[in-house]
Structure formats: structure tokens, C-alpha cells
Structure 1
Amino acid sequence: MNMIIFDMDGTVINSGFAIANTVNYVRENLGLESLEKDFILENINDININSAEFFYNEKVFTPQIQELFEDYYSKNCLVDLHIYDGIKKLLDNFKSDFKFCIATNANSNYARKMLNHLEIDKYFSSILGYNDVEKPKPNPDMVNVLLDKYSIKKENAQLVGDSTKDTIAAFNAGIDGILVNWGFSNYDNEKGALNSVEELEKKIIEKFYSR
């Protein structure tokens, strides 16, 4: 059995509108000025920054920040939500040969709601969020849970995501990680990021069908 683990936001679905609006809603309630959507999304995945400090001028995510974020996001996470071009076709093409799972640093309850809304939740055997493990990505907890749950050998698994948090989580779990460049981050070619779903299909074929 082979497994492909997908990050969700910025990889499978474009949820940037809701994420940026939620960040700005929290900032507004904290008396901070709004930020540009692209600026928010480019920095949301940056592993080198303290997100609480960067976005909200706090050392940690306070209960107030968490409550504001969850309240707004829960009501608006389906607004302007889209599947990235080619993703549904990829899932259809490979569904008989793979166990597909989601590993997202979002709350898994919202993840299920969003994937269900887009009618693609049926493709994923498990949907794990930060709330389902002790530590989110770049820690390997989610990956390890999924490998153990379905008794998948590490060489038979791959993680696909648009953040270095994803590829580091894959590395920390001992599986292949693929970085994609159609999401929220903007990588140069030196990082080897894939620019299209077609390139991802080729990578999958190379790893799993050429051995």
C-alpha cells in the first residue's frame, strides 16, 4: 500500500481569502492596521518567524487571539474557497493505487467542513489537524500517526505541501517531501519546488510506478 499525505491550505485548496480576512479581523480587534492579503499569505508559512509576534504583536497566541480567530474563521472559512486546478483530476487518476490523507496545521474540524463543501472529502481516508496531535508541522507527529494507522512503510509514503514546514515534517518522519509552488509561498527554482499539478503527477509516477 502506498500513501500520499497532502497539506491542505495552499496545496489542495485555495483558502487564502478567508485566512487573510481572519488575520485582519483579529488585528482590527487588537487595534492594529490591516495588512495586504499577499503579504499575510507569503509570511503565514514562514518557519523563521514567530507568527503571534509577527501578526499580532504578542509573544504567544493569547486566548483572546485564539477566540477571535476561531470565531471569525468558523463563520467565513467557506467564503471564496476553491480547489486548485488539476487537483481533483490527480486524485481521480491515482485513487485506486493510493491511500490519500490530509495533514494540516489548521483545525481538523474546519478542514473537514471545507473539504466537504468542495465535495472532495471522500478522497481522504484521514484528515488530521494541529488539534489531533501533540505538535504540529514541522514536527513529524501527524505523519507518524498516519503511517502507523495504516501500517505504511516509510519508503511507500510521500508528503506534498506548499511550505518548508511540510518538507521538514516529511524529513523528520523519514519520508519523501515535495514542495509545491502554486500555494501561498513563492519559491525560486533553487528549492526545486514544483510549479504545476502536472509536474506533481510526473513526480508521483517516477516514485511509485518506476520501481
Structure 2
Amino acid sequence: MIKGVIFDLDGTLLDSVTDIMNSLNKILGKYDYELKNYQEVRSYLGNGAQKLVERSIPSEKDREVLNRIVSEYNDYYKKNSNIDTKPYDGIMELLEYLKNHNYKTAITSNKIQEGVTSLNNDTFKGLIDVAIGERVGLKLKPNPDMIYLALKELNLNADEVLYVGDTEVDLLTAQNAKLKSIAVTWGFRDYEVLADLNPNYIVNEPKEIINILKEV
């Protein structure tokens, strides 16, 4: 019996590309790197800030420079993460349904913990029970450690949870944690990319997740 749902954040619950792009370009411009457009940034997302920066400036091999840019990006983004960011259509209704029907919920994200906490508190206002982001000592997805921590905090077993995400990183995370997965098509990856990874379900609208929960 399914008792909980674990979500990715960016591209699954939140349309956050514009704020990420603007924060990234603010720092790239400071150092005279080429600025990135919406589609480029969208394609770079899923593996955390370090990979976002590395994919944005692949010619830069100096680790000290990369680390400085990542740090400055994180600092700037913390203060500018909720300007144009908003839930996708139907997400709030989905979360309210889950809360009203006593499903436990969590976020696991490769975004820094401060950003995850802030967006969760400001946007979802108590609809999500647990919010886990990048922190010291916790490996990033697709390593399953974030899932294991979420399961522990929710007091649920893997077979009692569905995992919802929008990228190959999310689906690999679900596989590694032995969770059934739902891939969403409104996020950062196209249908074909998601289908190749054989998720248990693929949905085009949040309300379809409610239908799945009624069936499993």
C-alpha cells in the first residue's frame, strides 16, 4: 500500500529555470563568460550547482575558479531564488489532495539545503512534510542516500512510496533506491529521454498522479 510520495523539486514541483538562469548569468557575466539562454540552462539542470557551472563553462578547467563561481552563484541564488519561480499548474492541488488524504510527502533535491528549505517554506507552506537538499555528508542523487534519509524521516519503507521526478537523475535515483517511479513530462527533459529509462509511469499532468494513487 502506498503511504507516501517523494518529489524532486526543480522541474517537478517548481518551474525555477528563470531564477536559476538569471542568477547563473549574473555570476558568469561578472567574469566575462558567455551568458546562457533558457533552453541551455534547462538542459544543464539536475545534478546540482557544481555541475550546472561546469556545464555552463566547459572550457574552464581551473578547479579553484570553478569553486569560486559555484560559491558566488549559490550566495546570489539564495537571495534571488523566488522571484519568478512558481509551482507548475496543478501542483498545489495535487499536494493539497495528498495532505487531505493523509499521504506523507518529501522533497529530495540536489539544490543546496538553504534553497530547498526556503522554497519549501515560502511556496508550499506546510504541504510537504520533509525537505532534503544538498548538505555536508549527504551524497547527491542519483546516489540513493537522500531517499534513504527521507524514508527514515517519513518512517516509511521503500515499497510504501512513489518517487516523482523529471530527469534521468531522478529515475536513476528511484532505481537505485528500489522505488517505483513516476516521470513527469512538464519539466527539464523530453518524453523520449524519460521513456528510455523505463519509469513505472509517465504523466503529462499532476492530476494523473492522483489517478495512479487510486489504482496502486
Q: TM-score, normalised by structure 1?
A: 0.87
| Contact 1:45/1:185 (8 A) holds in 2 | no
For residues 107 and 166 of structure 1, what CA distance do their matches in structure 2 show?
16
In the alignment, is residue 171 of structure 1 matched against residue 172 of structure 2?
no
| Contact 2:47/2:141 (8 A) holds in 1 | no
In the alignment, is residue 19 of structure 1 matched against residue 28 of structure 2?
no
Give the counterpart of 1:161 among 150, 165, 178: 165
Q: CA deviation at 1:171?
A: 0.9
Q: CA deviation at 1:150?
A: 3.1
For residues 68 and 16 of structure 1, what CA distance do their matches in structure 2 show?
18
- Residue 208 of structure 2 is matched in structure 1 by 199
- Residue 111 of structure 1 is matched in structure 2 by 116
- Per-residue CA deviation, residues 52-74 of structure 1 (Å, 9 max, x unaligned), is 43212335583311222112201
| Contact 2:47/2:110 (8 A) holds in 1 | no
1:179-194 mapped onto 2 (5 Å cutoff): 179-188=183-192, 190-191=195-196, 193-194=202-203
Change (3 A) 1:55 1:159: same
- Which residue identity lines up with residue 19 of structure 2 in the other structure? A
- Residue 43 of structure 2 is matched in structure 1 by 42
Kindly report the root-mean-square deviation, in angstroms, between the aligned alpha carbons of the 2 structures. Answer: 2.2
- Per-residue CA deviation, residues 96-123 of structure 1 (Å, 9 max, x unaligned), is 33110110111121122122222x1301
Change (3 A) 1:113 1:149: closer
Give the counterpart of 2:107 among 102, 118, 129: 102
SS at match of 1:23: helix
For residues 132 and 11 of structure 1, what CA distance do their matches in structure 2 show?
24
Where does structure 1 lack aligned partners over 5 or more consecutive residues?
none
In the alignment, is residue 68 of structure 1 matched against residue 77 of structure 2?
no
- Per-residue CA deviation, residues 13-32 of structure 1 (Å, 9 max, x unaligned), is 11111111122222212321
- Which residue identity lines up with residue 158 of structure 1 in the other structure? L
State the aligned residue count: 204
- Which residue identity lines up with residue 196 of structure 1 in the other structure? E
- Per-residue CA deviation, residues 111-146 of structure 1 (Å, 9 max, x unaligned), is 22122222x130112110011652111110010111
Change (3 A) 1:124 1:157: same
| Contact 1:164/1:179 (8 A) holds in 2 | no
Where does structure 2 lack aligned partners over 5 or more consecutive residues?
none
For residues 137 and 9 of structure 2, what CA distance do their matches in structure 1 show?
16
For residues 175 and 190 of structure 2, what CA distance do their matches in structure 1 show?
21
Percent sequence identity over matched residues? 28
Q: TM-score, normalised by structure 2?
A: 0.85
- Which residue identity lines up with residue 209 of structure 2 in the other structure? L
SS at match of 2:97: helix
Change (3 A) 1:44 1:142: same
